[in-house]
Amino acid sequence: MVERRRYRTVVSDSALWARFRFRDGDIVISTPPKCGTTWMQMLCALLVFDTADLPRPLTEISPWVDATTYDTEAILAGLEGQRHRRFVKTHTPLDGLPSEAGVTYVCVGRDPRDAMLSFEHAVANIDPVAIAAGGLDQHTGPPPSEDPLERFRVWADAEFTPESDWFGVSLANLVHHVRTFWDHRDEPQVALFHYADLKADLPGQLARLADALSIDVPLQRLGELADAATFEGMRNRADELAPGVDAKLWRSNKDFFRAGTSGQWRDLLDAATLDHYRRRVAELAPPDLVEWLHTGSP
């Protein structure tokens, strides 16, 4: 039996997966934070239900299984009662998840620099009341620098940490997460996508996803469904699609879908910081993975 790595942060604990009873056909969406988790949940919902009119808010249909900030018993009971094909969310890498026959594991990668900036914007959008209520203000590390370039360097230089008293967000953790999928990307139960590819050709990537999930959808229908998953379309439905709306997590639900663009890091990083980043990421991943992380499919 392969021993799974345990991942713990202030908001999650992969040990909770031991309480989840899998079914044949289940879909596990496992992404690093701010790499397109909600987007992939929406794409799975469109394929599973064959409609953009979802029966309930997305976070209720596709909950975060190993989150510690929600009622685990209620989540598991809700999933047990679902009769449609189930698709669930996690930020746990593949080596921390149970390996189950008949389950498809889906990951989305993103340019780490964009993911880092997107995470900073997300943290700034968390309502202070929700931070206090969830105990997220109990971080014991030093306060973050007011200099965004210094915060970027700290994020880039942090070591890989499967257990963290904060969110566990760092360049090393992101690369490790994607690499657990990259190393198994040719296996039939593993499906690896890239944020840039979703941006460039959403209908084509939705077709890829349908193939990975063995869901037969006519080409014209794929285009119609993809129209419901554009960034602007999802932003306009933020109150039913953003995670944490039930807990009033965000100052603005719409701002959870802030921009959805790539390359925003160019406005922040100077030449020295960018050179430092390139050296660091080369230490963490082989050249083919580094290239894919920054560009997506050839």
Catalytic residues: 91
Would you call 62 helix, strand, or coil by DSSP?
Answer: coil
Q: Quickly count: other Cβ atoms within 10 Å of residue 159's Cβ.
A: 7
Q: How far apart are CA 257 and CA 76, in angstroms?
A: 27
Nearest to 209 by CA among 24, 42, 22: 42
3-state secondary structure of 87: strand
Residue type, 225: L
Pairing of the two strands 27-30 and 104-109: parallel
Whether the CB-CB separation of 28 and 107 falls below 8 Å is answered with: no
**Max CA pair span of the chain:** 54
Residue 139 sits at the vertex; the CA angle it makes with 174 and 261, to the nearest 5 degrees, is 40
With beta carbons less than 8 A apart as the criterion, state whether 136 and 46 touch.
no
* Backbone φ and ψ of 103, nearest 5°: -105, 140
Closest CA to 109 of 163, 173, 165, 52: 173
Q: Which residues lie below 8 Å from residue 182, measured CB to CB, with a gap of 6+?
A: 192, 289, 292
SS3 of 190-212: the string is: EEEEEHHHHHHCHHHHHHHHHHH
